[in-house]
Structure 1
Amino acid sequence: MKHLPAKKTFSDEQVIELIMRLFWQNGYYHTSMDEIVVTSGVKKQSLYNALGDKHTIYLKALQRYHQLTLTACAQAMQSLEQAGETPLTVLMMLYSRDLTRTDQPTGDLMANAVAEFGASDATVKQATNQFYEDYLTLLASVILKGQANQTIINTEASMGLAQSLLEVRIGLQTRIRQGQQPNIDQRQHAWRQFLQK
């Protein structure tokens, strides 16, 4: 009589989100497979069978973070636009969103991945590049709207302005991760003054 494989009793997405927060808190190299097993609440062999090894799980965590973050950004943008907010207000939300939240690990999982791996791991680099390209696209699309209705300066191309904003955001996330407390409101004010037409 053949033995049927054990039925999986957990949701991949929920488990990945738990592990994602662990990697976000501790980083890749400071997270052991044993900690992943404890955090997930899934037996090691079941975890390997369902999700792969530590590196594969990390890539899935990056992918999930990408998905959750971009979905949340799009929803927040839509809410602000429906409420009649200006493109500049929407842009400042994208620039500063989640920087001061205390209910999640500090910094940004993608910025942490870049800090840990640099360009040494092609698959991690591809995941972080894709995330930043998508975030850039969101920023640039809002800047274009503001330039079209003449509320945001058009002396610079939308993508160039978006790139500058994103790089400052990544820098702020890194500073916050180091335990610094930059004044986000002050920086937002400076950017508003610069970007307003």
Structure 2
Amino acid sequence: MPAKKTFQDDQVIEKIMHLFWQQGYYHTSMDEIVTVSGVKKQSLYNAIGDKHTLYLRSLQRYHQQTLMRCTQAMQRLEQDGAAPLTILSMLFSRDLTATDQPAGDLMANAVAEFGTTDADVQRATNWFYDDYLTLMAAVILKGQANNQITDEQSSMSLAQSLLEARIGLQTRLRQGSQPDIQQRQQAWLTFLARH
């Protein structure tokens, strides 16, 4: 009879997610995962899976948490009557200067580390960016409808450019650079505003 599981998957994945976020996939050993999670290696394998599966679960958790927090922040801003550009500003700069988490973004780190060499990781990162893009495009479309955001390009094209700028900033932060986030944000808001 297998031993009874004595840990919560979500709490364990949360700890492992932060480890991967800090160190990357290839620089994280199973021994470090065991130490950080506080769960024996065999128990992790039996309950969740191998290192690759743990990484994919970490990406999934990051995806869910990030999108949920963004959606909640958007709803609060909308309830307060914030303009679409204000909401877009939040989506653009959200967590870029956070000091209570590793630098950069787990998804941007995954793309930098794996590129197109792992189909599962590529699917996870594409899914995340598609969802983030959809959030941005919806806000832009709303701003275009009320003449606050330029309509010289489609909402999706503008959202794609904005998202790619955000990913670039996340990568720079991960490299240890300290770009002026507010200056970049202001430049984008000026570009997007309807004149």
Return the TM-score normalized by structure 1: 0.97
Unmatched 5+ residue regions in structure 2? none
Counterpart of 2:71? Answer: 74
- 1:117 aligns to 2:111 (yes or no): no
Shift of 1:191: 1.1
Counterpart of 2:159? Answer: 162
Q: How does 1:87-98 map to 2 (within 5 A)?
A: 87-98=84-95
Counterpart of 2:190? Answer: 193
Cα separation, 1, equivalents of 2:191 and 2:115: 31
Shift of 1:5: 2.5
Shift of 1:192: 1.3
CA deviations 1:1-37 (Å, max 9, x no partner) are xxx4222111101100100000000000000000000
Deviation above 6 Å: which 4+ runs of structure 1?
none
Q: 2:48 aligns with which of 51, 69, 76?
A: 51
| Count of aligned pairs between the two proteins | 194
Cα separation, 2, equivalents of 1:114 and 1:190: 26
Counterpart of 2:61? Answer: 64
Counterpart of 1:7? Answer: 4
Shift of 1:38: 0.3
Counterpart of 1:31? Answer: 28
Tell me the amino acid that sits aligned with residue 151 of structure 1: Q
Tell me the amino acid that sits aligned with residue 139 of structure 2: V
- 1:138 aligns to 2:135 (yes or no): yes
Cα separation, 2, equivalents of 1:108 and 1:11: 25
- 1:175 aligns to 2:182 (yes or no): no
CA deviations 1:31-89 (Å, max 9, x no partner) are 00000000000011101001100001100000000000000000000010101100110
Unmatched 5+ residue regions in structure 1? none
Tell me the amino acid that sits aligned with residue 28 of structure 1: Y
Cα separation, 2, equivalents of 1:64 and 1:136: 18
CA deviations 1:107-138 (Å, max 9, x no partner) are 00000000010000000000000000000000
Return the TM-score normalized by structure 2: 0.98
- 1:42 aligns to 2:39 (yes or no): yes
SS in 2 for 1:120: coil
